[in-house]
């Protein structure tokens, strides 16, 4: 399904935008109404479950019941990490993340600015080429109960990947942002 914001330029008036929005909501509903069986597998695997105002399976249920405006006003559409775990786990091949991304697009198309955190993430990527520097985590021995801090290598993880040439990365990143903004403005 095409992104609503991408299609904004093709819409000639507010009425067209409204019709497009309604069509995309209708199509999404038709896709998931008979598919989501509320098995809760999406929620069980969601890494952001504790941070979300609503659990992923609840988002599906509310969307199916027509609570679109309430979901559009909820922080939940911005708190989702878009990790696509729910899509991977769903036995019915539907997923809360699809609904969340559609609602995000509609919110942006209606002029709702993304939360301030989104700008900080972009700035961190621009400055360091990585959203967050890895931090040490506390490990507890199952045998002795002893605790210790460990970095990634101590957890058998590879070093966090980051751009080899930060200046080139910044240039490509800036170009991509400028292009996205100019496409939105056309
Ligand atoms: S979206 Fe999929 S995994 Fe989640 S409750 Fe519905 S059917 Fe289950
Ligand atoms: S995409 Fe969002 S809702 Fe789905 S599992 Fe990831 S954080 Fe949870």
Q: Give DSSP secondary structure letters for 24-64.
A: HHHHHHHHHTTT-----HHHHH-TTTTT-SS-HHHHHHHHH
Query: Do residues 149 and 142 touch, judged by C-beta distance below 8 A?
Result: no
- What CATH number is given to the structural domain containing 66? 1.10.1060
Nearest 5°: CA angle at 64, between 73 and 106?
40
Residue 26: CB atoms within 10 Å: 10
Domain count within the chain? 2
Same domain, 144 and 57: no
Mean confidence (pLDDT) of the chain:
85
127 in a structural domain: yes
Which residue CA neighbors atom 2 of ligand 1 most closely?
A: 90
Which residue CA neighbors atom 5 of ligand 1 most closely?
A: 38
User: 44, 74, 109 — which closes off a domain?
Assistant: 109
Per-residue pLDDT of 64-112, as tens digits, reads: 999 999 999 998 898 888 889 999 999 998 889 999 999 988 988 888 8
Same domain, 12 and 91: yes
Same domain, 40 and 100: yes
Same domain, 96 and 10: yes
Q: Which ligand is nearest to the CA of 42?
A: 1
Half-sphere exposure of residue 119: CA atoms within 13 angstroms, side-chain side: 4
Question: pLDDT higher for 15 or 98?
Answer: 98
pLDDT, residue 108, reads: 83
Q: How far is the CA of 45 from the centre of ligand 2 (A)?
A: 8
Residue 179 has pLDDT above 80, yes or no: no
Same domain, 15 and 60: yes
User: What is the model's pTM?
Assistant: 0.68
Q: If pLDDT is split at 50, 70 and 90, which confidence band does 183 have? A: low
Which residue CA neighbors atom 6 of ligand 2 most closely?
A: 83
Same domain, 90 and 126: no
Per-residue pLDDT of 29-49, as tens digits, reads: 998 878 999 999 999 999 988
Report the alpha-carbon distance of residue 56 to residue 92 in Å, rounded. 14
**Full domain range(s) for residue 68:** 4-109
For residue 4 the two structure tokens come to 């609503």
Ligand 1: residues with CB < 6 A are: 36-42, 57, 60, 89-90, 92, 94-96
Report the alpha-carbon distance of residue 49 to residue 80 in Å, rounded. 9
Same domain, 8 and 84: yes
- Which residues, 6 or more positions from 110, have their beta carbon under 8 angstroms from its beta carbon? 72
Q: Phi, psi (5° rounding) for residue 96?
A: -55, -35
Q: How far is the CA of 137 from the centre of ligand 1 (A)?
A: 32
Same domain, 105 and 125: no
116 in a structural domain: no
- Which residues, 6 or more positions from 10, have their beta carbon under 8 angstroms from its beta carbon? none
């Amino acid at each position: 399904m095409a992104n609503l914001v991408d299609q904004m330029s093709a819409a000639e008036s507010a009425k067209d935008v409204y019709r497009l929005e309604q069509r995309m909501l209708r199509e999404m509903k038709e896709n998931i109404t008979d598919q989501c069986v509320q098995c809760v597998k999406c929620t069980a695997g969601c890494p952001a479950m504790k941070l979300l105002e609503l659990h992923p399976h609840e988002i599906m249920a509310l969307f199916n019941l027509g609570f679109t405006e309430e979901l559009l006003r909820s922080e939940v559409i911005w708190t989702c990490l878009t990790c696509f775990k729910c899509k991977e786990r769903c036995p019915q091949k539907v997923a809360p993340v699809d609904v969340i991304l559609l609602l995000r697009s509609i919110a942006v198309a209606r002029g709702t600015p993304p939360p301030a955190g989104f700008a900080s993430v972009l700035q961190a990527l621009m400055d360091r080429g990585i959203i967050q520097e890895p931090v040490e985590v506390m490990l507890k021995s199952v045998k002795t109960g002893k605790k210790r801090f460990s970095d990634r290598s101590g957890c058998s993880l590879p070093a966090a990947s980051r751009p080899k040439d930060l200046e080139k990365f910044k240039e490509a990143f800036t170009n991509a942002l400028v292009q996205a903004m100019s496409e939105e403005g056309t």
